[in-house]
Structure 1
Amino acid sequence: MGQVADGSNSAAAAPASEAEAGESSNEPQPRGFFGRILGALGASPGEAGPAEAQSAATAAAPLGLPGLGNLRKMRVGDVAVPKAEIVAVPVTTPRDELVEVFRTQGYSRLPVFKDTLDSPMGLVHLKDLALAHGFGGAPGRFSLRKLLRPLLYVPPSMPIGVLLQKMQLQRIHMALVIDEYGGVDGLVTLEDLIEQVIGEIEDEHDEEEDGLWKLEKPGQWLVQARTPLTDFEAEIGMKLADAEEGAEIDTLGGLVFMQIDRVPTRGEVIVAENGVEFEVVDADPRRVKRLRVRLPGVAAE
């Protein structure tokens, strides 16, 4: 969740050079987990090893489901956070305001820009801020510019497997997606890419859930979007989907998606025909994660 930019490189020129560098086969291949993933990417057409067989097996899976096949068939533009949802800070941000952004947003990396996001300068890492100005560090004059780390710049058409390889080799875990005019179009992190292979990753800072739903007050629940629809209907004692909808969807998140025919945004409230309200508590550009469900009587209050 951070971006880096080298002041000597322009955002407009970066995508071409980054794409060329990402396809180079001269770099050493990392071992372990990343080595196995990158090995699946590097197999030549004439080779028929286990990695290729697994990639072929997953290639038939629907787009969006986790699997090694996504490394080849998905593009950066498919997984990037839209520009409107990027949390970034100007290079003139004072220390206390920067700390507050880290605290409220919960990210470990933030893009830093000059004037507008279309003029990125790099990323700031929470660890660098803490080591330089926390833990009893020297109270010298704060300069965000001195904390900047570099960013990757990539085109939306780049396969996510190529970007994953670039991030691993260059040890840069955040990239800005640059459009054809040189402007910033989105943001991608290493975690975003890995989730396309192994599924959603939750760290120690993600809110823990005792179950699939939690009763907040009578008639109102906080529910994970993957909750089976029939189970939650039994919990609340009413039907949320008709017979036709119930035959096509399995989860509460799927019901919300079907009602508006798109992925809703965080904070959006969808009101069903039966008066039930679905408030999107947590979501990213590709899926809903958590919902707040209010029954008609509670919604009216």
Structure 2
Amino acid sequence: MDSSDAGHKPGFFERLSSLLVREPEDREQLMQLLHSAHQRKLLNADALSITEGALAASEMTVREVMVPRPLMEVVDVGDSLDEIIARVNTTAHSRFPVINGDRDHVVGIMLAKDLLRVRREDGFSLRDWVRPAVFIPEFKRLDVLLREFRVSRNHMAIVIDEYAGIAGLITIEDVLEQIVGEIEDEYDFDEADDNIQLDQNGLYRVKAHTAVEDFNEALGTGFSDDKCNTVGGLILRHLGRVPQFNETVVLDGTSFQVLRADSRRIYTLVVSVSPTAADSE
């Protein structure tokens, strides 16, 4: 036997193909094979999770993961440079839809990095810095959108409904998070200090892994953490399942709307506390 063959260690795709000698007849059988491979330590947990995410993304639509219209962070074409810089600093986003008067009239996309080239002495008009926006239907599949993002090198698209109205927006990060899980970088709000963030509409954006104790302290609620340690756990325990995007759950007068979730976990919630619920605690 050739010594080079004896020392050869099969790679991920070789190990996966060895499982598929008998081709699965449907997706359920494929998933059974993948889980069997994980149990036999041919696939690690991360590889299994990413494969499951990729398969799920091929069946999901933009509508299921987009940021809905009321929660879009936007700038107006008539905003001053100082107003725009303040919005960039507050949200830490890199791209913003540019509207003309209201959210139904998106005229383009602004890249925060373009502001670095602005010279105040030359005057400023946001219209000079607006880039074309990409508009997509809300029922486009995520795998198709990801391919289009890669080809066009766009990172954001505006989502329209069947009546050509603005339904929301989606970024390439939103799509990738459905495959590999939540992506955090140095511009995401800090896990320890900013799990709870108040937005301009008076609503709270809350990460699902926020401790119930921290949530109670910040919002004046009184949820018990005897059974669940996190806010996401409260929702899962109440429903007995993973909620869908945009689904709303009301617990003790507090409204939890799912801003981001996939088939396996909740990531982010939008929370509204009624005055009576807060006062009763």
Tell me, yes or no, whether TM beats 0.5. Answer: yes
Alpha-carbon distance in 2 for matches of 1:257, 1:226: 12
Alpha-carbon distance in 2 for matches of 1:58, 1:122: 45
Matched, 1:98 2:84: yes
The C-alpha deviation readout for 1:213-255, integer Å capped at 9, x for no partner, is 9xxxxxxxxx9633799xxxxxxxxx9478xxx6xx8854131
**Structure 1 contact 151–175 (Cα < 8 Å) conserved:** yes
Instruction: Tell me: CA distance 1:210–1:66, structure 2 relative to 1, closer, same or farther (3 Å).
Output: farther
Instruction: Tell me: CA distance 1:269–1:124, structure 2 relative to 1, closer, same or farther (3 Å).
Output: same
Decide which of 171, 177, 190 is 1:189's aligned counterpart: 171
Alpha-carbon distance in 1 for matches of 2:33, 2:152: 28
Matched, 1:131 2:117: yes
Alpha-carbon distance in 2 for matches of 1:227, 1:96: 33
Q: How many residues align?
A: 214
**Structure 2 contact 68–168 (Cα < 8 Å) conserved:** yes
Partner of 2:19: none
Partner of 1:216: none
Write out aligned runs for 1:261-300 (5 A): 272=252, 284-286=259-261, 287-289=266-268
Alpha-carbon distance in 2 for matches of 1:195, 1:259: 25
Write out aligned runs for 1:2-21 (5 A): none
SS at match of 1:201: coil
Alpha-carbon distance in 2 for matches of 1:60, 1:254: 27
The C-alpha deviation readout for 1:109-163, integer Å capped at 9, x for no partner, is 110022322221111111001222xxxx452110101111122111111100111
Partner of 1:25: none
The C-alpha deviation readout for 1:190-215, integer Å capped at 9, x for no partner, is 1000000000001112344469x9xx
Look up the equivalent residue of 1:190 and give its one-letter code: I
SS at match of 2:164: coil
Query: Offset of 1:95 from its aligned partner?
Result: 0.8
Decide which of 134, 156, 161 is 1:179's aligned counterpart: 161
Alpha-carbon distance in 2 for matches of 1:172, 1:58: 36
The C-alpha deviation readout for 1:74-114, integer Å capped at 9, x for no partner, is 10111011111111122111111111111112211110022
Instruction: Tell me: CA distance 1:186–1:58, structure 2 relative to 1, closer, same or farther (3 Å).
Output: farther
Instruction: Tell me: CA distance 1:126–1:194, structure 2 relative to 1, closer, same or farther (3 Å).
Output: same
The C-alpha deviation readout for 1:20-75, integer Å capped at 9, x for no partner, is xxxxxxxxxxxxxxxxxxxxxxxxxxxx99xx99x9439999xxx96111231110
**Structure 1 contact 114–120 (Cα < 8 Å) conserved:** yes
**Structure 2 contact 92–188 (Cα < 8 Å) conserved:** no
Q: CA RMSD in A?
A: 4.7
Decide which of 73, 96, 100 is 1:87's aligned counterpart: 73
SS at match of 2:108: strand
**Structure 1 contact 173–190 (Cα < 8 Å) conserved:** yes
Instruction: Tell me: CA distance 1:88–1:224, structure 2 relative to 1, closer, same or farther (3 Å).
Output: closer
**Structure 2 contact 65–245 (Cα < 8 Å) conserved:** no
Alpha-carbon distance in 2 for matches of 1:269, 1:157: 24
Decide which of 104, 108, 132 is 1:122's aligned counterpart: 108
SS at match of 1:123: strand
Instruction: Tell me: CA distance 1:72–1:97, structure 2 relative to 1, closer, same or farther (3 Å).
Output: same
Matched, 1:225 2:211: no
**Structure 1 contact 177–185 (Cα < 8 Å) conserved:** yes
Alpha-carbon distance in 2 for matches of 1:172, 1:139: 31
Bigger CA drift: 256-265 or 71-80?
A: 256-265
Alpha-carbon distance in 1 for matches of 2:238, 2:150: 40
Matched, 1:149 2:131: yes
Instruction: Tell me: CA distance 1:226–1:138, structure 2 relative to 1, closer, same or farther (3 Å).
Output: closer
Matched, 1:74 2:60: yes
Instruction: Tell me: CA distance 1:299–1:252, structure 2 relative to 1, closer, same or farther (3 Å).
Output: same
TM-score scaled to structure 1, two decimals? Answer: 0.56
Instruction: Tell me: CA distance 1:118–1:181, structure 2 relative to 1, closer, same or farther (3 Å).
Output: same
Decide which of 229, 234, 247 is 1:255's aligned counterpart: 234
Write out aligned runs for 1:18-57 (5 A): 56-57=30-31
Instruction: Tell me: CA distance 1:177–1:152, structure 2 relative to 1, closer, same or farther (3 Å).
Output: same
Query: Offset of 1:259 from its aligned partner?
Result: 3.7
SS at match of 1:188: strand
Query: Offset of 1:256 from its aligned partner?
Result: 3.0
Look up the equivalent residue of 1:79 and give its one-letter code: V
Partner of 2:218: none
